[in-house]
């Protein structure tokens, strides 16, 4: 009696499970005509605000083409991660293997980028285009033949900041940065120039990503440094700034590219005024007066007004996701929507094209890594009380090796470079 | 739903759990009829043929149908579903099984099971091959994997030895503390664990010309390990050691008075659960192809508990059922709602399951079956009876 009952239950459960499997499988079968583009950003975790803005940037690029390229409809399928590499790979795998996307755009953060690049080698039929991640290793060590990055990396984003800091009289700087690949790149980009020109970095404090308590770091800031280089993103930057202010800190600050991005500048805390005067560097500047940039900002503001959750000016993540998605679509237009032959023509078009971005032309190097423009910026306050990045200087054609020779270039890490 | 209905639902749930409590007391009766074998774990040599009989019965009964479905599954499902849903569920299910064994049969809720799995995963990464050549020792897999499992079992034993003197919420606290300590250790240590970035490119070996990380082979490997773990738990809970463990769960003082060593049994249970979690941990490292602090963070410690509770800790099958639901939700919730709010769906489903069925999906299923069969009170607890 018992056995038959339970057997019946098990049989029922298996029939149910089989039906469910069939449904899952069938619903996402490939359609044919439209081009499917997978879009991955961090909608959870420490970069949730940046990830949401990245999605806006990518969607803006699709919208500017009316959702159609060369007669083929663009279908965007979104996925989320939480800045952890294993989650990013799981989400990417779902987009690639289950939703069968043709082109993949993402992920957002450095560690994720390296993991997705590793994964891309196992999926040669799909073209991977970076989203926002800026670790050097992604395209510099063991590059993947089907992984493209149309944004410059974390090291390239910091070019020019070292000289600007010395010009302000900051001879000794302490580094406070998150402990993973992207900040390593940022610190290297800064120090390569700063140390060469005579600056000193006596202490580097590496803090965990997503940390809440910075009091122990704040306590170790030496008295004799002139400035702090703070490379923290999103919520971490806001937490650090608040705690440093509360602890009575008064050292001037140099910011990493995502420390003073729009999502940080728009944090609605009282203390944010302390950011005014902060020098930083990155691939964009809010107040840059190039015509293409102004048109891009106007389009962003029109599509995503502040009342609908947009930022007053597009953040770094919105910008780099926009650039990468635009590259994906421009490449598609260049080959007239032809993705045949394992996307060989498409990839060649991507490798050779000169991408028109709001901040000037971008080309790719042999590792499919962007060569582009970097801005050194200074935070200023406008008449309405909004904080903006004013252009301090502009450096064109920054390559991934920061102008060094291949043999003398070492990828940034905790201990490289050093000039105590 | 009207408040009265809510109350009724809660009351009936309470009544059901009370009935289960009575049933559990009843189930402890056979303890006294079991020949008083040595309290140490493992089988008495003369019981070897019994083991094979039991194995046969295990295969020949209702499980055959499920087994068949599990074997046919990769042939009908796409490689993605086989790998990400099938294999991941089996691997997470194994780790959750180690917890439901401890919680369901030992009465000890350990949050450190993912830590044990992480110890095994990191050990494989450090002893075997990874992208960080300066850290990994490069041992061949047939040395690295067994040593990693042994290290994790030792770690689990140590965790057990530290925590068995506590009860209830204090066990949860101490195992959580151990788990968080391990998380910060791997996060901040660079010489062995490579910090935030962890160790990448962990590949299963290519043995017999088979790439074991391809979807079907990896699924098969996970399935074999999961079935072995499932059978191990099903066997152990009917062996003298398992019966004694359940006795200790129900009344430690009485068992102590009968001459059983409470601490030794509990520590042995931790060691056994550590073995299951360790094998799961090695598979998880291969599945993700990386070990990073995120894999052993607080989120995952709790996810394992969620999986075990979701499925129900009353039977070993619950862990795998819970893992399947968990993985399906994690993978497909974003398609259901397609906005930035998909975590709400995941949380909502978990909440609904726990609210309407305190003993998880197994309990829900048993109650549903009982209702369909008009009044026959079949609870999941009865399935545990031989």
Provide DSSP, A82-146: -S-HHHHHHHHHIIIIIS--SEEE---SHHHHHHHHHHHTT-TTSEEE--S---THHHHSS--TT
Min Cα–Cα distance to chain B from A199, Å: 27
- From chain B, the residues in CB contact with A84 under 8 A are 292, 294
Nearest to A9 among B80, B332, B369 (CB): B369
Cross-chain residue pair B84–A98, CB shorter than 8 Å:
yes
What pLDDT score does A5 carry? Answer: 53
C-beta of residue A38 within 8 angstroms of C-beta of residue A127: no
Residue of A nearest to B214 (CA): A122
* Test the B interface: residue of A4, A98, A119 with most B CBs within 10 Å: A98
Nearest to A80 among B69, B334, B376 (CB): B334
Residue of B nearest to A89 (CA): B288
Min Cα–Cα distance to chain B from A59, Å: 13
Sign, Cα dihedral of A59, A61, A67, A71: negative
- Band (pLDDT 50/70/90 cuts) for residue A272 is low
Cross-chain residue pair A21–B334, CB shorter than 8 Å:
no
- From chain B, the residues in CB contact with A115 under 8 A are 200, 290
Pick A248 or B120 by higher pLDDT: B120
C-beta of residue A360 within 8 angstroms of C-beta of residue A374: no
- From chain B, the residues in CB contact with A209 under 8 A are 196
d(CA A272, CA A260): 10
* Test the A interface: residue of B73, B294, B329, B338 with most A CBs within 10 Å: B294
Min Cα–Cα distance to chain A from B199, Å: 11
At A392, phi and psi to the nearest 5? -95, -50
Nearest to A118 among B79, B197, B201 (CB): B201
Min Cα–Cα distance to chain B from A346, Å: 25
ipTM of this complex: 0.71
Cis peptide before A107 (omega within 30 of 0): yes
Tell me the domain boundaries of chain B.
Answer: 60-313
- From chain A, the residues in CB contact with B369 under 8 A are 5, 9
Min Cα–Cα distance to chain B from A66, Å: 21
What pLDDT score does A403 carry? Answer: 80
Contacts of B220 (CB under 8 A, 6+ apart): B74
Nearest to B197 among A44, A79, A181 (CB): A181
Cross-chain residue pair A86–B295, CB shorter than 8 Å:
yes
Cross-chain residue pair B292–A98, CB shorter than 8 Å:
no
d(CA A154, CA A407): 20
Res A27 pLDDT > 60: no
Virtual CA dihedral for A356, A360, A365, A367, nearest 10 degrees? -70
Mean pLDDT on A14-25: 50
Q: What is the pLDDT of residues A102-149, one digit of tens each?
A: 999 989 988 889 889 988 988 999 999 999 888 888 888 888 999 999
What domains appear along chain A, each with residue ranges and CATH number? 35-151+291-371 (3.40.50.2300), 156-289+374-398 (3.40.50.2300)
- From chain B, the residues in CB contact with A21 under 8 A are 73, 76-77, 81
Cross-chain residue pair A97–B295, CB shorter than 8 Å:
no
- From chain A, the residues in CB contact with B198 under 8 A are 85
Provide DSSP, B332-372: HHHHHH-STTHHHHHHHHHHHHHHH-TTHHHHHHHHHHHHH
Min Cα–Cα distance to chain A from B90, Å: 15
CA-wise closest residue to A230 among A269, A293, A288, A274: A274
Min Cα–Cα distance to chain A from B102, Å: 25
Residue of B nearest to A135 (CA): B197
Cross-chain residue pair A21–B78, CB shorter than 8 Å:
no
Min Cα–Cα distance to chain A from B301, Å: 15
Would you write out chain B's pLDDT as a tens digit for each of its 386 residues?
A: 444 444 444 444 444 444 444 444 433 333 333 344 444 444 444 556 676 676 666 666 667 778 888 888 888 888 888 888 899 999 999 999 999 999 989 888 899 999 999 999 999 999 988 877 788 888 888 899 999 999 999 999 999 999 988 888 898 999 999 999 999 898 888 888 887 778 887 888 877 877 787 888 889 899 999 999 999 999 998 899 999 999 999 998 999 999 899 999 999 999 999 999 999 999 999 998 888 888 888 888 988 998 888 888 888 888 998 899 888 888 887 777 655 567 788 788 888 887 887 788 888 778 877 777 654 444 444 444 44
Q: What is the pLDDT of residues A137-195, one digit of tens each?
A: 888 888 899 999 999 988 999 999 999 999 989 999 999 998 887 888 899 999 988 99
- From chain B, the residues in CB contact with A11 under 8 A are 65
Nearest to B81 among A21, A89, A181 (CB): A21
- Band (pLDDT 50/70/90 cuts) for residue A22 is very low
C-beta of residue A177 within 8 angstroms of C-beta of residue A231: yes
* Test the A interface: residue of B74, B78, B180, B215 with most A CBs within 10 Å: B78
- By residue count, chain A amounts to 420
The upper half-sphere exposure of residue B230, i.e. CA atoms within 13 Å in the direction of its Cβ, equals: 23
Joined tokens for residue A367: 């590792």
Nearest to A89 among B288, B335, B383 (CB): B288
d(CA A314, CA A316): 7
Residues in chain B whose Cβ is within 8 Å of chain A: 61-62, 65-66, 69, 73, 76-81, 83-84, 187-188, 190, 195-198, 200-201, 288-290, 292, 294-295, 330-332, 334-335, 338, 340, 342-343, 365, 369, 373, 376, 378, 383
- By residue count, chain B amounts to 386
d(CA A218, CA A240): 9
Cross-chain residue pair A25–B197, CB shorter than 8 Å:
no
Min Cα–Cα distance to chain A from B260, Å: 33
Residue at token pair 């996925």: A79
What pLDDT score does B43 carry? Answer: 42
């Amino acid at each position: 009696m018992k056995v038959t009952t339970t057997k019946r239950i098990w049989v029922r459960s298996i029939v149910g499970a089989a039906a469910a499997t069939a449904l899952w499988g069938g619903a996402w079968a490939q359609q044919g005509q439209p081009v499917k583009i997978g879009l991955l950003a961090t909608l959870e975790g420490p970069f949730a605000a940046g990830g949401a803005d990245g999605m806006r940037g990518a969607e803006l690029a699709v919208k500017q083409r009316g959702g159609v390229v060369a007669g083929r409809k663009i279908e965007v399928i979104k996925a989320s991660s939480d800045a952890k590499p294993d989650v990013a790979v799981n989400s990417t795998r779902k987009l690639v293997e289950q939703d069968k996307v043709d082109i993949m755009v993402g992920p957002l953060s450095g560690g994720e980028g390296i993991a997705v690049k590793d994964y891309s080698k196992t999926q040669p039929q799909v073209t991977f285009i970076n989203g926002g991640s800026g670790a050097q290793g992604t395209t510099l060590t063991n590059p993947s033949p089907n992984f493209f990055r149309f944004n410059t990396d974390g090291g390239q984003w910091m070019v020019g900041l070292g000289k600007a800091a010395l010009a302000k009289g900051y001879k000794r700087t302490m580094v406070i940065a998150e402990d993973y690949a992207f900040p390593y790149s940022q610190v290297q980009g800064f120090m390569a120039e700063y140390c060469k020109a005579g600056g000193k970095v006596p202490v580097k404090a590496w803090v965990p990503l997503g940390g809440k308590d910075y009091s122990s770091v704040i306590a170790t800031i030496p008295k004799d440094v002139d400035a702090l280089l703070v490379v923290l993103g999103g919520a971490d930057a806001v937490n650090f700034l608040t705690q440093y202010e509360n602890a009575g800190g008064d050292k001037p600050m140099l910011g990493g590219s995502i420390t003073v991005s729009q999502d940080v500048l728009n944090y609605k805390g009282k203390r944010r005024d302390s950011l005014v005067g902060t020098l930083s560097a990155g691939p964009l500047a809010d107040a840059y007066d190039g015509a293409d940039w102004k048109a891009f900002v106007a389009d962003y503001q029109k599509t995503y007004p502040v009342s609908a959750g947009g930022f007053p000016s597009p953040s770094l993540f919105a910008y780099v996701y926009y650039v990468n998605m635009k590259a994906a679509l421009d490449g598609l237009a260049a080959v007239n929507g032809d993705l045949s032959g394992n996307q060989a023509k498409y990839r060649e078009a991507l490798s050779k094209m000169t991408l028109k971005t709001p901040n000037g032309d971008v080309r790719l190097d042999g590792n499919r890594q962007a060569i582009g423009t970097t801005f050194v910026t200074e935070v200023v306050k406008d008449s309405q009380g909004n904080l903006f990045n004013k252009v301090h200087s502009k450096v064109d054609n920054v390559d991934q090796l920061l102008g060094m020779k291949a043999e003398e270039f070492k990828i940034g890490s905790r201990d490289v470079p050093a000039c105590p | 739903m009207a408040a009265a209905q809510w109350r009724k639902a809660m009351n009936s749930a309470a009544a059901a759990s009370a009935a289960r409590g009575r049933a559990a007391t009843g189930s402890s009766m056979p303890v006294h009829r079991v020949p008083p074998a040595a309290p140490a774990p493992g089988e008495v040599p003369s019981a070897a043929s019994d083991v094979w009989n039991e194995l046969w019965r295990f295969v020949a009964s209702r499980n055959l149908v499920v087994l068949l479905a599990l074997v046919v599954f990769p042939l009908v499902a796409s490689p993605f579903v086989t790998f990400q849903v099938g294999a991941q569920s089996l691997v997470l299910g194994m780790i959750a099984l180690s917890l439901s064994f401890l919680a369901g049969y030992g009465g000890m809720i350990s949050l450190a099971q993912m830590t044990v799995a992480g110890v095994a995963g990191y050990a494989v990464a450090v002893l075997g091959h990874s992208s960080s050549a300066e850290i990994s020792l490069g041992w061949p897999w047939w040395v690295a994997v067994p040593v990693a499992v042994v290290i994790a079992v030792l770690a689990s034993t140590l965790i057990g030895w530290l925590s068995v003197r506590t009860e209830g919420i204090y066990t949860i606290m101490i195992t959580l503390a151990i788990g968080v300590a391990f998380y910060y250790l791997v996060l901040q240590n660079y010489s062995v664990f490579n910090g935030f970035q962890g160790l990448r490119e962990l590949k299963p070996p290519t043995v017999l010309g088979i790439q074991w990380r391809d979807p079907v082979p990896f699924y098969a490997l996970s399935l074999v390990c999961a079935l072995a773990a499932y059978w191990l738990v099903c066997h152990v809970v009917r062996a003298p050691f398992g019966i004694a463990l359940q006795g200790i769960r129900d009344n430690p003082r009485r068992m102590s008075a009968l001459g059983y060593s409470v601490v030794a049994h509990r520590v042995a249970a931790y060691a056994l659960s550590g073995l299951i979690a360790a094998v799961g941990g090695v598979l998880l490292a291969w599945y993700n192809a990386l070990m990073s602090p995120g894999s052993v963070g607080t989120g995952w410690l709790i996810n394992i508990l969620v999986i075990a509770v979701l499925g129900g800790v009353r039977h070993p099958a619950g862990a795998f059922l819970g893992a399947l639901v968990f993985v399906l939700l994690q993978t497909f919730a974003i398609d259901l709602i397609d906005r930035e709010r998909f975590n709400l769906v995941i949380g909502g489903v978990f909440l609904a399951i726990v609210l309407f069925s305190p003993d998880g999906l197994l309990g829900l299923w048993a109650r549903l079956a009982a209702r369909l069969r008009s009044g026959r009170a079949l609870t999941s607890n009865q399935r545990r009876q031989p």
